[in-house]
Amino acid sequence: MIEIMGVVNVTPDSFSDGGEHADPDDAVAHGLALRDAGATILDVGGESTRPGAQPVGSEEERRRVLPVVERLAAAGAVVSIDTYRADVAADAVRAGASIVNDVSGGLADDGMLAAVAATEATLVIGHWRGPSADMYARASYDDIVAETTDELAARTAAAGEAGIPAGRLVLDPGIGFAKAGERNWELLRGLERIVRIGPPVLVGTSRKRFLAGAIGDDASRDRRDLATAVTSVLAQQAGAWGVRVHDVAATRDALAVLDAWEGAR
């Protein structure tokens, strides 16, 4: 079964669960519950990256995430820090994070690659074309699979030049980031081409708006979680290393069914 990265948002404004776990105690309890439900990695984020979201600044981001990272790591969890800021990433690794999940792939902060290279952490390189506030203004592609693949390959090369070995890299095609509606499905259909770049691939579709295009614009959160679980199965079949989800139990069960099916075959 692939890695299941559970989302721990320590934010008041994330698109699907903003404010639910903004208190550190609540965030830690939620993270441990996700681990109990089957998450192998806990991804702690202190700034929303939903479309149109505004940045909060390094000081506030650190205030939100560092106590949560430290406590989850002390509890034995594998912790990822969801940040595009080099200073936050470095502090989070010192607090116990072993993965830096940068949705910008090192483009938002030119110190990120060097900061991660100076640690032993793994870097998740997200495909990115600009900040959340105006990402859709950059969502123009002639061939979304080819362009995303080429841009991720370029960031992989840049990480290597900065001193991060290939064994410490993961690629994320950035579903929903500067990609609208049907283009996300088109990219997912080409996921095997991204897998062929080399590093492991993480897929994050959880509860995202494009899912509603398949199941109905009025789809509830529970229905989007079911849709997410289906995409998790398809991601594993396409060769993904991991999936990033809010509802860990649904994805765990869907992947277990896939494993049983393939074992029977």
Dihedral angle over CA of 182, 248, 80, 24, nearest 10: 110
Which is the catalytic residue, given 155, 208, 224, 252?
208
Q: How far apart are CA 232 and CA 43, in angstroms?
A: 17
Residue 202 backbone phi and psi in degrees, to 5: -105, 135
Q: How far apart are CA 173 and CA 197, in angstroms?
A: 12
Q: How far apart are CA 131 and CA 16, in angstroms?
A: 19
Place of tokens 């123009």: 140
Active site residue 223: no
Active site residue 209: no
Which is the catalytic residue, given 62, 64, 244, 252?
244
Dihedral angle over CA of 15, 21, 24, 30, nearest 10: -120
Q: Which residues are catalytic?
A: 208, 244
